[in-house]
Amino acid sequence: MLGNFQQSQLRIEIEASADAIHDSLVHLKKLEKWLLVQRFSPGMPEELFPGFQFTTWTGPVAIRHQVDILKPNCLRLLLSGGIDGFHEWYWGEGWVQSCLEGVSILPLNLGQTLSLLSLRQFLITPQL
């Protein structure tokens, strides 16, 4: 894998319940609405589950994901391809934390920051 080893941990406050954050991270229809910089592979289920594998694209770069852990307040994705590493999400009432670690040519911290801000905006905007 080409690239640099990168790691980043970000935590932000979000005016949302733990359940709303959970749904936004594991339900595909909601995930697609706020994770704007990535395109998802076709044939995705309504909800992620342990062991499920899927691919996203950030521009021309394919990133393969495998759902390693999925609990009421934790999601861990193993990554390969454009990022070789993992992405962990933790959340509770009013907060979400993202831990991303891997080797990549992509600017992981920038993408992670934009994703968290997009998630926050999605959760505070009334859904029609």
**Model confidence over 34-81: pLDDT tens digits?**
987 788 888 889 999 999 999 999 888 999 999 999 999 999 999 999
How far apart (Å, rounded) are the C-alpha atoms in residues 67 and 58?
Answer: 19
How far apart (Å, rounded) are the C-alpha atoms in residues 107 and 94?
Answer: 27
Computed over every residue of the chain, the mean pLDDT equals 93
pLDDT at 41: 81
Residue spans of the domains in the chain: they are 4-124
Q: Is the pLDDT of residue 110 over 70?
A: yes
CATH number given to 4-124: 3.30.530.20
Name residue, tokens 């589950």. 49
pLDDT at 47: 95
User: What average pLDDT does range 106-123 have in this prediction?
Assistant: 93
Model-level pTM? 0.92
